[in-house]
Amino acid sequence: MTIRVVHYINQFFGQKGGEEAANLPIELADGPVGPGAALQAALTGKAEIVKTIICGDSYFNENEGLACMGIREILQDIKPDLIIAGPAFNAGRYGMACGKVGEVAHGLGIPVISGMYNENPGYELYRNFSYIVETTNSAAGMRQAIPAMAKLVTAWIEKEGKLGTPAEEGYMPRGLRVNFFAEERGAKRAVNMLIAKLEGTPFQTEYEMPVFDRVAPQPAILDLSTATIALVTSGGVVPKCNPNRIESSSASKYGEYSIGGLECLCEATHETAHGGYDPVACNKDPNRVLPVDVLRDLEREGRIGKLHDKFYTTVGNGTSVANSKAFGAEIAMHLKNAGVSAAILTST
């Protein structure tokens, strides 16, 4: 059985012209075009390039939304098993387009195999979405790139999409953690690693410890009595019944809720959606996670200017750092736009 492939290339490899044709909108051609011919030859009997998408690099990058919509429609129509994009070598705009095609296809659940130079910004920005073979920095390396990409496509077909590590298969790391079932259970692997460490023989850690961002604090607020203070929590405090259905773990969203006019939170009005700590105390007195009562006291005493009338909340439990960073950036923007001077972040 042969799988059905769509190939994405730019105007130059699509034989439409050089820079003067870079504004070419999306065109769809039957069968392989340009480097697709050599790819098709290398994949005979395993894969068939049914269509080739050709698009000008400038057009794609200057009309990204439109281009992505066009690509999505084509892919939804053709429903290929796999997409091959490029190779783009070190061509920046071409690499960005191939990377973006990877992102669109990923959203549709279609895998993408591409080829790029390791410094192409398309790799750096979109590596999460495609298997990208490392190429030389110019098209002079086409003769090595095509067999390398064909080899990865072949492996992908033979292993039914379950590719091994970047080193085993010859693609550049995608920056992803991928689950698999190991031959030995974790406890046995731990003992083997312990023995290697004791004996001073080489071993490979299964997870490299992460390096964290450090955020420099803002300068101190000199006069709190005129400051607007906001409350932000990862402790999952939400209005009763969790109206936006923030997940109890691995949150995909955060909530913005009003506390305007509320003197404090209480059992009848608020609760926690968090699944990662004993919720009983918080549900009984949600102020202990989101201290509205104390902030109102401070407001009354004139020690702070005012409490911001909205609070932001999410569930920290099992929520990926990537999601948390995105929530943080958006919440900070909301607070800044509302003229908030400082925020108190409570965790659990």
Partner 1 sequence: MKLEIGNIHVKELAFGENTALSSGRVQINREELAGWIRELDHRIAEVKLDIALPGESTRIMPVKDVIEARCKAEGKGFMFPGRNPGDEAMVGEGRTHVLKGMAIVTTGKVVGFQEGIIDMSGPGAEYTPFSKTQNLVITCEVDDTCNQYDHEAILRRVGIETANRIGQLAMTATADETRTYETKPLIQQAAEYPNLPKVGYVYMLQSQGLMHDTYLYGVDVKTILPTLLYPTEVMDGAIMSGNCVSACDKNPSIVHQNSPVIHELYENHGIKYNFMGVIITNENVTLADKERSSNYVAKLAVQMGLDAVIISEEGFGNPDADLVMNCRKLEEAGIKTVLLTDEYAGQNGESQSLADSTPKGDAVITNGNANQVIHLPAMQRLIGHDTYADMIAGGWDGSLQADGSITAEIQVITGATNELGYHNLCAMAG
Give me the residues that bind partner 1 (CB under 8 A), please: 128, 163, 165-166, 173-191, 193-195, 197-199, 203, 205-212, 245, 247-250, 252, 275-280, 316-323, 348
Residue closer to partner 1 by CB (options 228, 346) is 346
* CB nearer partner 1, residue 60 or residue 123: 123
Distance CA 208, CA 215 (A): 22
Crossing angle of the two packed helices 142-158 and 35-42, in degrees rounded to 10: 40
**Residues 172/134, Cβ–Cβ less than 8 Å:** yes
In this complex, which beta carbon is closest to partner 1, that of residue 239 or of residue 305? 239
CB 87 within 8 A of CB 56: no
Q: Which residue, 30 or 180, has its beta carbon nearer to partner 1? A: 180
Q: How far is the CB of 205 from partner 1 (least distance, A)?
A: 5
For the chain, the C-alpha Rg in angstroms (whole number) is 27
CB of 203 to partner 1, least distance (A): 7
Give the Cβ contact number of residue 68 at 10 Å.
17
Alpha-carbon distance 149 to 264, whole Å?
62
Return d(Cα 8, Cα 70) in angstroms, integer.
12
Minimum CB separation from partner 1 for residue 49, in Å? 26
- The residues pairing with 104 across neighbouring beta strands, listed in sequence order, are none
Residue closer to partner 1, measured from CB, 23 or 324: 324
CB 25 within 8 A of CB 56: yes
- Number of residues assigned to the chain: 348
Query: CB-wise, 178 or 222, nearer to partner 1?
Result: 178
CB of 199 to partner 1, least distance (A): 8
Q: Which is nearer to partner 1, 149 or 163 (CB)?
A: 163
* Cα(134)–Cα(87) distance, integer angstroms: 9
- 139 and 120 Cβ atoms separated by less than 8 Å: no
Q: How far is the CB of 251 from partner 1 (least distance, A)?
A: 9
Report the alpha-carbon angle 210-133-32, nearest 5: 145
Q: Between 94 and 254, name the residue whose CB sits nearer to partner 1.
A: 254
Q: What is the identity of the amino acid at 58?
A: S
Going by C-alpha positions, the residue among 33, 97, 23, 107 that lies closest to residue 73 is: 107
Q: How far is the CB of 190 from partner 1 (least distance, A)?
A: 5
Instruction: Count CB-CB contacts under 10 A for residue 92.
Output: 15
* Smallest distance from partner 1 to CB 184, Å: 7
Which of 59/254 has CB closer to partner 1? 254
Q: Are 161 and 112 in contact (CB under 8 A)?
A: no
Distance of CA 226 to the CA centre of its chain: 40
Identify residue 328 by its one-letter amino acid code: G
Shorter beta-carbon distance to partner 1: residue 40 or 319: 319
Q: How far is the CB of 343 from partner 1 (least distance, A)?
A: 20
Q: Considering the complex, what minimum distance in angstroms separates the CB of residue 323 from partner 1?
A: 7
Residue 67: count other Cβ atoms within 10 Å of its Cβ.
Answer: 22
**Residue 275 CB, nearest approach to partner 1 (Å):** 4
Distance between CA atoms of residues 301 and 150, nearest Å: 72
